[in-house]
Each structure stands twice: as C-alpha cells, then as structure tokens.
Structure 1
Amino acid sequence: MGQDRSLISKASISLARSKKLSTGKFCYFSNKLSLRDRFVRCSLSFVLGLLGLAFWVPSGFAKPVDLELVFAADGSGSIDDEELQLQRQGYAEALLDQRVLGAIASGRWGKIAVSYIEWGDEASQHTIVDWREIADGEDARAFGEALLSAPRAAWGYNSISEAIVYSTDMILTNGYEGARMVIDVSGDGPQIGGRPIDWARDRAVDAGITVNALVVKSRGGGYRGPGNIPLEMHYRLDVIGGLGAFVMVADEQTPFAEVLLAKIIREIADARPTGRDRAVTGIGNTGREAQYAANVITCGTKAYERTGTESGCKRPEMSAAGAENAQGHQRP
C-alpha cells in the first residue's frame, strides 16, 4: 500500500510540473533569451500569478457575490394554478430585464446568488429553484426556465413566519458570502400559523438579513391583517425588517409584474448594508424552548398594538373550517 501511494505521489508531482511548464507559472529560461527578455517574462508570470490568487476561491470557502437574494413567494391555497404560473413568469421575466442585469453588472463582483422558494402553511416551505449565480442574461434565462418548469409544491395557508425562517436558514447555510443579504417576501394574505412572525423577522435581521415585502391585493381590496388593519400595514409592522427594508403593493392600478420589476431593481442596486450585524446573532446557541419563551404574547384584537415589552407577538389560531374565530379573524 505504501508503494502504491508513493507511485501516485510521483505521478502527481510530474503532472504538476508539466502544467507549470505549459502555463508559464514559473520562470523557465532559454539560453537564447536576453536578460531583459528573461526579466520581462518572469515579471509577467509573477503578476499573472498574483492576479490568479486574487480571484481564486479555495474549495470549502464561500464564494463572494454582491447579494444573496431569496425570493419567498406565496404558494398557499389562496393562489390558484394560473396565478402561480403568472407569478413565476413575473420573476423569470424580471431577472431578464436589462435594467436588472445592468444593476447586477454594476456591483463589485458583477454577480448575485438567487434562490426561489414557495410557501404555504407552517409545514409547507419548498425550494423551487436552489441557489444559482446570476451574472448575465444566460444565467437569468436558465434560472427562469428552471422556475417555470418546476411542479407546484406548497399547500395550506399563510405561515409567513415559517417562510422567513426557512429563507433565513437557506442564506446562513449556502456556499456564498454576499456583501448584502435579502429575503423578498410576496403574499396576498396575513400571517396565520407557525412561530411568531416578530421572532422570525428579528432572527433574520440579527443575522444580517433585510426582509422586504410585496403585498399582492386582489379585487375589492383583498384580505386584511390582524385587527382588520390594511394588509400592507400588517406587512410593514410585522413582516419587513432590517436596514433599507420596504413594502411595495401590487393591485389593479399597479400590476404585479411592473411592481415586482421595480422592487428587484431596487433590491439589487441598493448598496447599503442589510440586517443589523452578523456578529451579534445568537442563532443556534440556545435550545428551541429558550428562544421562543419570550415571544408568547397575545396581540390586542380590537386595535392592533403591541403588548408587553418583548418583540414577539403570537397570533390567534384560525379555525379549520374557515369561519371566523372568536377574535373575528377569518381564514382565507
């Protein structure tokens, strides 16, 4: 066995030497070259070697990108198959827009990492297109084709909190190191089930992530938030968070595709930091029970206002049958 290993080692060294000779990675001189030519060739090889080191990413290290972006799209029961496909089409076309590609190219690295998930109830979060680098139109087209061809996966109703938790974990465990990190949540209804929405949002923000939102309102105004507040106010108060966070609304006057395009351009072109600070996050350092104990708080039902001093707010459960519950909140 030791002899075999020795033979492999020698073969590897021989191959490495031949590669260096063929690529000019060290200074090989011919007696026919002048001293000046030798110096120029050696200097050029040295400079090229330094440039190679500058852009070389060792195996096991995160790849640098300008932005890590999760599209967390509503795939719940309130979105029918036609609406789901139109929604996906909007994202696919937006990424191909020249203004989006121009915003990507303007970054330091000239590329972003994007993934697309769809979510439903608290047990239904699904990666539709996993992480991909997008630097040009070809990358964007491939992403869109994968998105449009994927089968539907989500079910149930509106656990925005679990969608944020799932998206946060995707960012924290991927193979990229983004200068900025954003979760782009789109939905047509309020938070219903799952863990507290305030906790999920603050967890993402503490990890350095900014959460933005796109509210999709149907005819007649669509669904409303807790305490009968406007849905966009619910998203502004409970869903978004982090530096530069914002909400945009798509309705009959402002079509989904148009608003989505403006939103993506803004997210990519914004050079400001996101979240708070990676260094202060305590995610994963304590048990699950300890992390949620402080967030079991009930919100007021007549007027929407936070109660207590903690950031969490537990929403009332919706009835399985869809009728209004005791607090007057209705399941979509």
Structure 2
Amino acid sequence: MFSALAMFLTIAATPVATPVADAVPVDVALVLAVDMSGSMDIEEAQVQRMGYVEALRHPDFINAVTAGLNGRIAISYFEWAGSVNETSVIGWQVIDDAQDAASLAEHLASRPVFTRRGTSISNAITFASKLMAASPYDAMRRVVDISGDGPNNLGPPVDPARDAAIESGIIINGLAILIRPSGGPVSLDRYYADCVIGGPGSFVLPVHQPEDFAVAIRQKLVLEVSQARLPAIPVQIKPPTDCLMGEKLRPGFLDRVYPELER
C-alpha cells in the first residue's frame, strides 16, 4: 500500500539544541506535527486523530520503543493549519512502556477536534524546530513528523524552513494525505518528497483512503522509532517540483507578499 519517495528568502536560523547537563537520554525526540486545515472535513480530521491514538496504543509501536538502545523516546505533539494552534500543543513526554503510551493516547483522544483555514507547512516546521531546540532530553536522533493534505500556501516558502531544520540536525518525514487529490501539477507525495522531507533516511508515506490512516500512522511511527528503512525504489528522472506551487494557486498572493520574486 505504501511507497517511499526518496533561497530566495532568508529566514531566521533555526536554533540548534544543545544537550542539557544530566539530561535523560532517549533514542529519538519526535515531534508530531498534524495538519488540521479546512481542506479536511471534521470526519477526516477525527479519523486522522484516532489514527494517532491507535498507533500510540499498538503493540508494534511499544515494541519498537522498548527495543531501542535506551528503551525510551520523547514525544511532543501539535496541530497546525495556516498557523500553529498553540492550544493543541502537548509538551514533551517520555514514553518507555505501554502505560506511558496509553496515557498520551488517552490525553489526545479526549481533546476536541477543530479544523482551521490555510496550510502553512513552513510555519509548522519552524514551530517544530523551536520545540525541538527546547527539548530537555538528550536524543540520539531528532525527528519531525509532518502530516498534510496540501502544499504550502501561507506563510514563508517551505523549502527554506525545511533546509534550516535539516541544517540544525533534524530529520523531517512526511505523511501525504491523498484522500481528495487537489489535481495540482505534481502529486502531493512527490511535493512532500521534493520540498518538505529531508535528512538521513527521511521518507514520505501516502494515504489514499480514510481506512488507511491508522495503519499508515503506525507504520510511520514504528519506522521513526526503530530507524528501519523502507525498501528502496528506482529513481525516476523528472522535472524539478515547484515548491511554490501552493502559493501560486492563490490569486495575487505572490504579488502581495513576494513582489520581488521572478516567476
């Protein structure tokens, strides 16, 4: 079901996390950045939310956590659309057994589901990078997990934000939600592969049906925790993806915000 797809603006440098003295060592610090933009209806948003809840409770996820060198990970969670919904933020929590994972899942399941306007992957990456820099844990790997159902269309361009995060040592993976394809010039999973993800071993998984959410999210979390690799697929030579394709779908957007950009 799944396949792996392996400035004109300057943004403020992403702060680089420095280990805190005597910080608890974890195998991975993982930020879950979940798209709740208005292009998803409430039913789809609820299905996505429950996909994360089920994945956190699943034995495959627990086994991946406990099999690591330290046998523990740290997780933070937030939801985003055109901006980050800061009331959705769940601060850093250590997961080292099924009880910890179930507690986080229950906390997540109890929260109301809201969707908001716009899609700013760049703001989500920048916010996730700041969360990562503020992590109190000594992580062997630092991973930001971005889910989304459309290209960046608000805020700064996505690729400078992506590049700054990677330069700071963060790996970005993606979950491309293709339940209702936008009909853009390239498929969303390819857009994510070319413009959003990055870092050693980074990957993107596509979701084509609502019933696939739970399995896809579980597979993604297990891969991120265990540092396993998806099978390689042949590289096809294709024209470069326009990482501003989402912005260009907004009438007059570039003229108003980036008038100096040559199109």
Shorter-chain TM range is 0.7 to 0.9
What pairs with 1:142-221 in structure 2 (closer than 5 Å)?
142-152=103-113, 155-219=116-180
With normalisation by structure 1, the TM-score equals: 0.62
CA–CA distance in structure 2, aligned partners of residues 258 and 87 of structure 1: 11
RMSD of aligned Cα (Å): 2.6
> Paired residue for 1:21?
none
> Paired residue for 1:316?
248
CA–CA distance in structure 2, aligned partners of residues 180 and 124 of structure 1: 24
CA distance 1:128–1:150, shift in 2 (3 Å): farther
Alignment check: 8 A CA contact 1:68 1:112 kept: yes
> Paired residue for 1:105?
66
Q: State the shift of 1:316 in Å.
A: 3.0
Higher helix share: 1
1:95 aligns with 2:52: no
CA–CA distance in structure 2, aligned partners of residues 318 and 182 of structure 1: 31
Q: State the shift of 1:318 in Å.
A: 1.4
What pairs with 1:275-290 in structure 2 (closer than 5 Å)?
none
> Paired residue for 1:30?
none
Q: Which has the larger radius of gyration?
A: 1
1:264 aligns with 2:221: yes
Number of residue equivalences: 224
> Paired residue for 1:252?
209
> Paired residue for 1:223?
182
> Paired residue for 1:43?
none
Alignment check: 8 A CA contact 1:133 1:139 kept: yes
Higher strand share: 2
Residue 113 of structure 1 aligns with an amino acid whose one-letter code is: A
Q: State the shift of 1:82 in Å.
A: 2.2
Alignment check: 8 A CA contact 1:190 1:224 kept: no
Percent of aligned pairs with the same amino acid: 37
The answer to which structure, 1 or 2, has the higher relative contact order (CA under 8 A, 6+ apart) is 2
> Paired residue for 1:305?
240
Residue 203 of structure 2 aligns with an amino acid whose one-letter code is: F
With normalisation by structure 2, the TM-score equals: 0.77
Alignment check: 8 A CA contact 2:42 2:115 kept: no
Equivalent position SS for 2:116: coil
> Paired residue for 1:124?
84
Equivalent position SS for 1:229: coil
Residue 242 of structure 1 aligns with an amino acid whose one-letter code is: G
Residue ranges of structure 2 left out of the alignment (5+ in a row): 1-19, 230-237, 253-263
> Paired residue for 2:5?
none
CA–CA distance in structure 1, aligned partners of residues 102 and 129 of structure 2: 25
Residue ranges of structure 1 left out of the alignment (5+ in a row): 1-58, 273-302, 321-332
Alignment check: 8 A CA contact 2:35 2:79 kept: yes
1:239 aligns with 2:196: yes
> Paired residue for 1:6?
none
> Paired residue for 1:133?
94
Q: State the shift of 1:154 in Å.
A: 5.3
